[in-house]
Amino acid sequence: MNGVEIDTGFFNGNHAPEIAVEGCFRPDAEEEELKNPDFAGWTTILSRQECGGACRQAWSLDQDSEVAKQAFTHVRLCMFPDGGIGRFRLYGIALPVFPNDVDEVFDLAATINGGVAVRCSDQHFGTKDNLLLPGRGKDMGDGWETKRSRGVHTDWVIIRLGASGEIVKLLVDTAHFRGNFPQKVQVFATYSKTEPAADDAGWTQILAPSPCGPDKEHVYEDDQLAGISGKVYTHVKMVIIPDGGVKRLRVFGKRKA
């Protein structure tokens, strides 16, 4: 955790005079347990601080302190005695909570599991980061879409997985893309301690160019995939042929630390 921000915008005279922030690490906790006044697992992240009306204030945490080095799954914002707060923000590095069972298959690429879209060839209509969001989205605007090309062409995106792992299944979703989906999709994978370039020699093709259809979840597994058995990868590269829009990319696998 790096810092805390409180915004009392538009609350002037009825803002919270003071605040404090507490946190705990309880990935399996039930809501009722944390709401119980007798729950003693809270750690003070930010001690009681004065707030002003209709303003933004931020407090930086001492990065050498034990609190700054801790991970938290829940936080509690306390205001004294009452009043209004417009926005509450915490700054830091997100640490996903992985399954305890090392054999459990989950989406290694999902944003909530630490996946990051690190680079792409083009993102004319929709950002590459949308590929890793939860759900299937509401329209074409929350997918990744490249501009139309002329002639021989491909577009690509590189994803750093939230954890290195053994890939068992891919899912490419073209939800809401009905006339502008890619003709084909191709996927490569690599193990790299640095961010690989698109033309690096270390990429292994795990999915040969495969047809795509409109507004559909495409699942690729078993004999459709190659080079995955016993292999551990940190990055995947999806190539769309020649261009178009993809809503979500899921890379299901087992975590291998």
C-alpha–C-alpha distance, residues 119 and 185, integer Å: 17
Domains in the chain, ordered, with CATH? 3-91 (2.60.120.260), 105-255 (2.60.120.260)
Residue 16 has pLDDT above 90, yes or no: yes
Amino acid present at 221 = E
**Cis omega (within 30 of 0) for bond into 81:** yes
Element (H, E) at 190: strand 184-190
Q: Is residue 125 within 8 Å of 140, Cβ to Cβ? A: yes
pLDDT by residue (tens digit) across 18-65?
999 999 999 888 889 999 999 999 999 999 999 999 999 999 999 999
pLDDT by residue (tens digit) across 158-179?
999 999 999 999 999 999 999 9
Tokens representing residue 81 in the block:
């005695």
Beta strands in 25-178 (DSSP E): 43-50, 56-60, 74-80, 87-91, 105-107, 116-120, 144-145, 155-173
